Amino acid sequence: MKEVAIIGAGVSGLSAAFELSRQGIQSVVFEKSRGLSGRAATRRRGQICMDHGANFFRTTDPEVAHLIHETLPSVDLVEIKGDVWTFDQDSVISPGDPEQNKQPKYTYRQGISNLGKLLQAASGTDVQRQQRVKRLIDKEQKWELENEVGDSLGQFDAVIVTAPAPQAAQIIVDSILQNNIRDSLIQALQQARYDPQFAFVIGFTDELRLQKRFHALVNQDGQHPVSWISFEDDKPGHVPNGNTVLVIQMSPSWSSRHLEHNPEHLLPQVLEQLSCLIPEIDQAPDWWDSQRWLLAAPRSAVDTTNLQQAESCGIFFAGDGLVGRGRVPLAIKSGLATAKKLAAGK
């Protein structure tokens, strides 16, 4: 029986671990941060919880639907009220795509990061947190993983790398493996481009008198400084009555220009843009928070032909970088597919 190391406890890595355990293959997940679920992230502030990365996921894909509704516990799965409307560069708002809006949108009562926790619990996989994998070392038939201070994290029969492609590329750059495979992996992974996104969360401790007609607004032409605005209040369990919490994701181009700036100095600009889109919000928030997502979503897919060459020697990849779109269901499918491929060759 193989033992597999998985780098990254985002939804792709944890889906891979889940599928491997279903197939009787043991795995260990190494995660550089303290939490599970990666960019499907939730932050807490007292009784409030806010999804400041991925806002929701859909279960239109049958494999994902089966996993979410049938396999994993669904007692805390909640449907989000309200539609997603659109806006253009002039802040003109329109009702969104009626077909898309018919599809339910989901998160969890405790926040979207609960998905990672449920995946981990379902497989019982050992997740070693705050363990950044620095490099892989070829030990003939085995792969040794090493952390940043040069400690060995163990030897494994195969490795699944699920870090976003630029971070995966850095792991391979630092690794010791056959030159031809190393070079083609680096070339493929370094081609990947991810957009950054600056996220702001603002909260009001009194009830805002809004005539709310939507859950969220998304910019359709990509020409507005704001990409996305949504109300956490529409998610059951996220915001206590009498409060209002908004998530505002700034556009990739605005975010690139302001990545190095102090968020406190950026807040007035963000609020000004918000009031163009929702003029009823004309008061300063009672509290706010922010997050810089340096690698928010891939702009295009990595060329997987080059990645596949490494599979014969036990290095596999998964994650949204292989799909070319930042979507939770696609990351789940990528993790499941990679684990199935690895298991088929066992």
User: CB of 39: closest distance to ligand FAD in angstroms?
Assistant: 3
Closer to ligand FAD by Cβ: residue 114 or 167: 167
Closer to ligand FAD by Cβ: residue 54 or 241: 54
What DSSP string runs through 60-117?
-SHHHHIIIIIIS--TTEEEPPSPEEEE-TT--EE---HHHHHS--EEETT-TTHHHH
User: CB of 80: closest distance to ligand FAD in angstroms?
Assistant: 10
Distance CA 119, CA 113 (A): 10
User: CB of 13: closest distance to ligand FAD in angstroms?
Assistant: 6
Give residue for tokens 């993790």: 335
User: CB of 50: closest distance to ligand FAD in angstroms?
Assistant: 12
Closer to ligand FAD by Cβ: residue 96 or 241: 96
Q: Are 52 and 78 in contact (CB under 8 A)?
A: no
Alpha-helix runs per DSSP H in the chain: 11-22, 62-65, 98-102, 114-123, 165-174, 179-190, 252-258, 263-277, 304-308, 320-323, 328-344
Closer to ligand FAD by Cβ: residue 79 or 206: 79
Chain centroid to Cα 302, Å, comes to: 17
Distance CA 233, CA 227 (A): 19
Closer to ligand FAD by Cβ: residue 11 or 122: 11
User: CB of 148: closest distance to ligand FAD in angstroms?
Assistant: 9
Residues that bind ligand FAD (CB under 6 A): 7-13, 30-33, 38-40, 53-57, 132-133, 162-164, 167, 171, 197, 199, 249, 293, 296-297, 319-320, 326-328, 331
Q: Are 17 and 125 in contact (CB under 8 A)?
A: yes
In this structure, what token pair is assigned to residue 84? 């997603």
Closer to ligand FAD by Cβ: residue 48 or 296: 296
What does the DSSP 8-state code read for residue 2?
Answer: -
User: CB of 11: closest distance to ligand FAD in angstroms?
Assistant: 5
